[in-house]
Amino acid sequence: MDNDAGGRRFTRRHLFAIGAASAAATVTTGPAWARSDADWLQGNFSWGRAKISVARSLAFRHTHTDETLNLVYYENGRYLPGALEEINYLFRDFRTDEVKEIDPRLLDTLYAVRLRTETSEAYDILSAYRSPETNAMLRRTSWGVARNSLHIQGMAIDIRLADRDSRYIARAARDMGRGGVGLYIGANFVHLDSGSVRTWGAA
């Protein structure tokens, strides 16, 4: 919803693309087939007696800075510190260049939404971390900005997907019953956060 532009431009590519998670899998022994959201978010599912540990990958394009990022952020049962640092930078307050540590649970929500919506498109980022000063400014100039927004805590993001309707994204996220999901149909974006479960905006 914000229309400011600025910040430094950078592009960082990794060997793993969004659609390559299965190629990065490792196999151990396990029980019969299961594939729930919980399995995916634990980084594993099973097929027969083969238990597959799935690398979690995400791709982004920041709509204000035109920076892009495509990387694996979780692999072999752990979050990758270097990948998280890159995400923290991309998700920074682009108005001030202030960087905040992003809640990994928010990344897992984005990953689960990608699976549920069956897309390999990069997420368009409209807003991620906001400094308290930026959030206060937006409250003065924009509608619907919370005083204690979870954007300030690195726990929220506003996104679009080029190949999926925002109503479809919101429904998929709401069905998971995790965190906050807000649909802004007029501005064509979805708010996702890792706070308490709640929804707003008609889907």
The model's pLDDT over 114-139, given as tens digits with 9 standing for 90+, comes to 999 999 999 999 999 999 999 999 99
Query: Is the model's pLDDT at 17 over the cut of 90?
Result: no
CA-to-CA separations, 13 to 9, 71, 182, in angstroms, rounded: 14, 7, 30
pLDDT band, very low/low/confident/very high, at 10 (cuts 50, 70, 90) = very low
pLDDT digits (tens, 9 = 90+) for 77-123: 999 999 999 999 999 999 999 999 999 999 999 999 999 999 999 99
pTM, to two decimals: 0.77
* 42 vs 106: CA distance, rounded Å: 14
User: How high is the mean pLDDT of the chain?
Assistant: 81
- Split at pLDDT 50, 70, 90, the class of 202 is confident
- The string of pLDDT tens digits covering residues 168-181 is 999 999 999 999 99
Angle between helices 166-176 and 104-117 (to 10 degrees): 120
Asked whether the beta carbons of 59 and 18 are under 8 A apart, the reply is yes
Q: Hey, which bits of 63-178 come out as E strands?
A: 68-75, 78-79, 123-127, 156-161
Q: Which of 109, 91, 108 is nearest to 99 (CA)?
A: 91
Domains of the chain plus CATH, in order, are 11-200 (3.30.1380.10)
> Using CA atoms, how far apart are residues 4 and 73, in angstroms rounded to an integer?
28
